[in-house]
Amino acid sequence: MRFFWIVIIITILATGCEDNRIYEQYTDFEEGYWLVNNKPEFEFVIDDSNVKYNLYGNVRNAVSYPWSRLFMTYYLQDSIGNVVHKSLTNDYLFEAKSGKPLGNSGLGDIYDHRLLLLKNYQFQKPGKYKIKFEQFMRTDTLQGILAVGLRVEKSMPAE
Residue 29 lies in a domain: yes
Q: What does the pLDDT look like over 40-77, one tens digit per residue?
A: 999 999 999 999 999 999 999 999 999 999 999 999 99
Residue 90 lies in a domain: yes
Q: Write down the pTM of the prediction.
A: 0.84
Q: How many domains does the chain have?
A: 1
User: Which CATH number characterizes residue 94's domain?
Assistant: 2.60.120.380
Residue 6 lies in a domain: no
Q: Which residues pair with 77 in a beta bridge?
A: 83, 130
Q: What is the domain extent for residue 90?
A: 21-154
| 11 sits in which H/E element | helix 2-16
Residue 3 lies in a domain: no
| Residue 66: half-sphere exposure toward Cβ, Cα within 13 Å | 9
Residue 10 lies in a domain: no
What is the residue type of 8? I
Q: What does the pLDDT look like over 69-103, one tens digit per residue?
A: 999 999 999 999 999 999 999 999 999 888 889 99
